[in-house]
Structure 1
Amino acid sequence: MKNLTDIGLAILRIAPSSLMLTHGIPKLQKMLGGDFAFANPLGIGEAPSLFLTVIGEVICPILIILGYKTRWAAVPAAITMFVAAFVVHASDPIDVKEKAFLYLFAFVAVIFTGPGSFSFDRK
């Protein structure tokens, strides 16, 4: 039974993080190409907003997939999705912000549960 729980935790960790990369990698490529035009939902500037989003949508998901510093890595990823759901898409209908909510809930679950046995954190 413990093995099934660890498999479930690995799926909870790896699947959403892998899907998150499909959103983050284009932003990373944009940033590496020198294009820093981006939304500024927190009023800190476009470049810092893009940089923080890349951390939350690329760097942290990679760490979560590996299960390295998992709980800590899930915090910026969750914050990024919180901003997406409650700031960027605040006035949008639920079907638009649903994706951000799903990622947010997955990352919050990872914060509470940890990575499970199939991770670098447990080795």
Structure 2
Amino acid sequence: MRSTYHIGLLLLRIGFCGLMLTHGIPKLWEVIQGNFEFGDPIGIGPTLSKIGAVIGEAIAPLLILIGFKTRLFAIPTIITMGVAAFIIHGGDPIGRKEMALLYLFAFLAIALTGAGKYSVDRR
């Protein structure tokens, strides 16, 4: 494979994980401070919903960013964005669910392609 392919995968990971962390890090800090207030979009309770969101929006993207078990850790983010797009914003117009869909498709692409050679797993 050409090196531009692997640079493209790296840029995909850096761009989308970096942007996802702007949503996940504030939630992570709230959990660290003991704040588990959150919605319950799939009926598992606010605490588990918030923990799931933190995993999907902070923990998994951090690991994907460095290229550790990328395909595996893309799954929680895909699930989180699926819930956001199709449940939380399910009845909303496309403009309201567009960001969740963009993240969903980006992390699906990451899951299908893997991290590439510029990753922890390739070292």
Under a length normalisation based on structure 1, what TM-score does the superposition of the two structures give? 0.97
1:101 alignment partner in structure 2: 101
1:60 alignment partner in structure 2: 60
1:35 alignment partner in structure 2: 35
1:44 alignment partner in structure 2: 44
CA distance in 1, matches of 2:72, 2:14: 15
CA distance in 1, matches of 2:57, 2:97: 16
Structure 1 residue ranges, 4+ long, deviating more than 2 angstroms after superposition? none
2:115 alignment partner in structure 1: 115
CA distance in 1, matches of 2:75, 2:67: 14
Q: Deviations over 1:64-95 (max 9, x none)?
A: 00000000010111111001000111011111
CA distance in 1, matches of 2:2, 2:117: 9
Secondary structure in structure 2 of the residue aligned to 1:117: coil
Amino acid at match of 2:11: I
Give structure 2 stretches of 5+ with no counterpart.
none
Report the aligned-residue RMSD: 0.9
Give the Å deviation of 1:107: 0.4
Secondary structure in structure 1 of the residue aligned to 2:91: coil
Amino acid at match of 1:81: M
Q: Deviations over 1:90-120 (max 9, x none)?
A: 0111111100000000000011101011001
Give the Å deviation of 1:36: 1.1
Percent identity among equivalent residues? 54
Amino acid at match of 1:63: L
2:81 alignment partner in structure 1: 81
Aligned residue pair count: 123
Under a length normalisation based on structure 2, what TM-score does the superposition of the two structures give? 0.97
Give structure 1 stretches of 5+ with no counterpart.
none
Give the Å deviation of 1:32: 1.5
CA distance in 2, matches of 1:99, 1:69: 25
CA distance in 1, matches of 2:81, 2:32: 22
**For structure 1, which segment, 67-76 or 30-39, has the greater mean C-alpha deviation from structure 2 after superposition?**
30-39
